[in-house]
């Protein structure tokens, strides 16, 4: 059923029966040949077929179509659970939002600017977004929205996207922005999932409150990146864990914390671990510990070729070695270098 509706791309979708949908002003950028086609009464389609149509749309088509009419927007919202899964990348310093497919082949950019007064531009039109009537400029694979309060506007766009798509969010190293804290907290309140979340705890009251909220909800996070902890007395405490963890300055991350970590990937740069700590870690893995672990990287000045032996070998002797769990179900390949050890885990061929 869905294949015939691949023809219903944006140039045709903007021309619906006027009794059913307000004509979309995005048509102003459409080639004249497309505008000569007859209108298509989209909202008269059966609901199942309509969902099929919405599933066939690109990210750009779905967003722009949803802005054209409140009736269509409601129908798209109702079909959200059948929508494609997307990654929403938030840049809280520039107020930019990028929406892309999981394979990154389909991408759409949303720029949010301040509206300081009257905008006289024939290519900018008014649209409704989360109860706000705002000027919007449309271009290929993106839109620019002008807000009186662009902090509230930024959050409004996020709420709008959550109604259209199945979203996972990525927030990069914008942690110095107040909007980062507001946005992160709001997303955790909504219990959304994160593809990537970067944070730099600094010990401030606001940062501690945010970390406490994040720490208790890390099951929602696929990849947590703690870029650095600037103060020696700041030690983040984990009450839950992400799927993957990457710590850029891990001097505060203790052996006790690592032994309790259930992540699939653990990357620790600048830790204080020594050879005897690696002995404990690898022995635990061999006896069935770290059941989820697929990759481990540890860097530390305390890891040396002249320190305590690890599995009865010196550090450089471990390079290229393959070790197994005692039950023979898993194997791991070890790579070592200056002040580092790396381990990649795979199921044993016996399984």
Please write the tens of the pLDDT for every residue from 204-238.
888 888 899 999 999 999 999 998 776 667 788 99
33 shares its domain with 149: no
Q: Which of 268, 204, 272 is nearest to 233 (CA)?
A: 204
Record the tokens describing residue 139, joined without a space. Answer: 């271009």
Question: Averaged over 66-75, what is the pLDDT?
Answer: 87
Which residues form the domain of 54? Answer: 3-82
Q: How confident is the model at residue 49 (pLDDT cuts 50, 70, 90)?
A: confident
289 shares its domain with 323: yes
Domain boundary among 37, 66, 82: 82
Domain annotation covers residue 226: no
| Domain total in the chain | 3
E strand map for the chain: 85-91, 96-101, 107-114, 124-129, 132-139, 142-147, 166-171, 193-199, 221-226, 244-247, 265-271, 295-300, 322-324, 330-337, 340-347
pLDDT, the chain, mean:
86
268 shares its domain with 186: no
Domain annotation covers residue 29: yes
82-113 pLDDT, tens digit each: 778 999 999 999 999 999 999 999 999 999 99
136 shares its domain with 195: yes
Domain annotation covers residue 263: yes
Q: Is the dihedral of CA 22, 25, 29, 35 positive or negative?
A: positive
31-47 pLDDT, tens digit each: 444 445 666 777 788 88
Domain boundary among 41, 57, 82: 82
Q: Which of 8-12, 65-69, 197-201, 300-304 has the lowest mean pLDDT?
A: 8-12
Residue 41, pLDDT score: 76
Domain annotation covers residue 238: no
- pLDDT reading at 4 higher than 60: no
66 shares its domain with 106: no
Rounded (to 5) percent helix, strand, coil in the chain: 35, 30, 40
313-328 pLDDT, tens digit each: 999 999 999 999 999 9
pTM of the model: 0.85
- pLDDT reading at 27 higher than 60: no
63 shares its domain with 155: no
Secondary structure (3-state) at 108:
strand
Domain annotation covers residue 265: yes
Higher-pLDDT residue of 192 and 23 is: 192
130 shares its domain with 95: yes
125 shares its domain with 106: yes
201 shares its domain with 305: no
Please report, rounded to a whole number, the percentage of residues in the chain having pLDDT higher than 90: 65
Residue 98: φ, ψ to 5°: -115, 130
Domain boundary among 82, 98, 114: 82
Domain annotation covers residue 67: yes
Domain annotation covers residue 231: no
């Amino acid at each position: 059923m869905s294949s015939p509706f691949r023809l219903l791309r944006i140039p045709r979708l903007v021309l619906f029966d006027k009794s059913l949908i307000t004509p979309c002003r995005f048509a102003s950028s459409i080639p004249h040949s497309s505008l000569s086609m007859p209108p298509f009464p989209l909202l008269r389609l059966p609901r199942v077929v309509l969902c099929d149509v919405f599933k066939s749309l690109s990210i750009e088509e779905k967003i722009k179509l949803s802005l054209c009419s409140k009736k269509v927007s409601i129908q798209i919202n109702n079909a959200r659970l059948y929508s494609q899964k997307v990654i929403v990348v938030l840049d809280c310093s520039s107020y930019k939002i990028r929406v892309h497919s999981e394979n990154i082949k389909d991408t759409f950019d949303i720029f949010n600017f301040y509206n300081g007064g009257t905008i006289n531009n024939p290519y900018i039109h008014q649209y409704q977004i989360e109860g706000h009537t705002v000027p919007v400029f449309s271009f290929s694979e993106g839109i620019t929205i002008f807000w009186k309060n662009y902090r509230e506007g930024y959050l409004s766009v996020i709420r709008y996207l959550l109604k259209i798509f199945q979203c996972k969010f990525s927030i990069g190293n914008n942690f110095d922005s107040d909007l980062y804290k507001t946005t992160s907290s709001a997303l955790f309140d909504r219990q959304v999932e994160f593809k990537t979340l970067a944070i730099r705890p600094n010990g401030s009251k606001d940062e501690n409150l945010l970390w406490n909220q994040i720490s208790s909800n890390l099951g929602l996070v696929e990849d947590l990146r703690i870029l650095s902890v600037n103060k020696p007395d700041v030690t983040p405490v984990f009450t839950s864990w992400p799927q993957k963890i990457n710590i850029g300055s891990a001097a505060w991350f203790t052996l006790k914390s690592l032994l309790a970590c259930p992540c699939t990937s653990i990357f620790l740069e600048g830790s204080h671990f020594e050879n005897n700590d690696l002995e404990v870690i690898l022995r635990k893995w061999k006896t069935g510990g770290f059941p989820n672990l697929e990759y481990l990287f540890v860097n530390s000045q305390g890891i040396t070729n002249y320190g305590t032996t690890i599995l009865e070998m010196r550090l450089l002797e471990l390079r290229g070695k393959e070790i197994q769990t005692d039950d023979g179900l898993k194997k791991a390949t070890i790579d070592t270098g200056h002040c580092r050890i790396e381990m990649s885990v795979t199921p044993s061929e016996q399984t």
